[in-house]
């Protein structure tokens, strides 16, 4: 593939390690972001995490017909970008983060940006959590801890596969992580995560 073959670029959020390089794509490739994330990127609230060259290019796209597409996901609710691909406000990590849901033959796979960094330490064996079914938050978020926890729980209850950007994908059954995958989603489970023994002998 060449850059010009790409129809859409979807950014879960615009932090330095998740966005940028949009200038390598022609202006007829549409960059899709949640409008609230663009607002945050130019507000100075998390300044070092939104580098000037990346954001300045998005401003250029803002003034080029068809080069930028804003969604208002907190207000509109989920939006289908193309058949089988739905964008939804994450309500976590940054004020404008979004999840990208992709329908597969085996169920919904969700690219969840940085709502989850580490499946093991946040969900399977949540670090320093003692309540049942209580995920650990990342510690790098713009909103409340309660919102972060709720966003993780929503992902666990609505997706068959979770794809955090900084960790390997996970398979979900009944709100619980049951396995880890490698580079194919859906794909073979490469690591089994044992289900909790609810009724020990």
40 in a structural domain: yes
CATH of the domain at 74: 3.60.15.10
Residue 130 lies in a domain: yes
Residue 128 inside a domain? The answer is yes
Name 39's bridge partners.
Answer: none
- Cα torsion angle, 50, 58, 101, 76, sign: positive
Encode pLDDT of 154-194 as tens digits.
999 999 999 999 999 999 999 999 999 998 999 999 998 86
In tens, the pLDDT along 19-36 reads 999 999 999 999 999 999
For residue 48, give the H/E element and its range: none
**CB distance 116 to 123 below 8 Å:** yes
Is the CB of residue 63 less than 8 Å from the CB of residue 41?
A: no
User: pLDDT confidence of 139, banded at 50, 70, 90?
Assistant: confident
In a domain, 200, yes or no: no
Q: Is residue 102 part of a domain?
A: yes
pLDDT score, position 201: 55
User: What is the number of other CB atoms lying within 10 angstroms of the CB of residue 53?
Assistant: 9
> For residue 198, is it within any domain?
no
Answer whether residue 141 is part of any domain.
yes
pLDDT of amino acid 62: 95
Give the count of domains, the chain.
Answer: 1
pLDDT digits (tens, 9 = 90+) for 75-122: 999 999 999 999 999 999 999 999 999 999 999 999 999 999 999 999
Supply the DSSP string of 130-195, one letter for each residue: -STT-PPP-S--SS-HHHHHHHHHHHHHH-SEEE-TTS--EEEETTEEEEEE-S-SS--EEEE-PP
CB neighbour list of residue 71: distance below 8 Å, 6 or more residues apart: 32, 33, 34, 35, 79, 87, 98
Whether residue 143 lies inside any domain: the answer is: yes
Domain region containing 70: 3-192
């Amino acid at each position: 593939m060449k850059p010009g073959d790409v129809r859409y670029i979807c950014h879960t959020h615009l932090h330095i390690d998740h966005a940028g390089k949009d200038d390598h794509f022609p202006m007829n490739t549409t960059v899709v972001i949640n409008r609230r994330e663009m607002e945050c990127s130019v507000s100075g609230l998390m300044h070092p995490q939104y580098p000037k060259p990346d954001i300045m290019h998005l401003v250029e796209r803002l003034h080029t017909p068809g080069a930028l597409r804003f969604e208002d996901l907190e207000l509109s609710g989920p939006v289908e970008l193309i058949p089988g691909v739905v964008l939804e406000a994450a309500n976590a990590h940054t004020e404008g983060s979004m999840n990208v849901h992709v329908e597969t033959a085996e169920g919904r796979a969700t690219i969840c940006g940085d709502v989850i960094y580490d499946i093991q330490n946040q969900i399977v064996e949540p670090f320093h959590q003692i309540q049942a079914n209580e995920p650990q938050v990342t510690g790098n978020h713009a909103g409340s801890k309660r919102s972060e926890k709720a966003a993780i729980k929503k992902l666990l209850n609505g997706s068959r596969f979770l794809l955090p950007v900084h960790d390997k994908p996970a398979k979900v059954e009944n709100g619980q992580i049951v396995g880890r995958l490698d580079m194919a989603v859906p794909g073979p489970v490469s690591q089994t995560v044992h289900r909790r023994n609810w009724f020990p002998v």
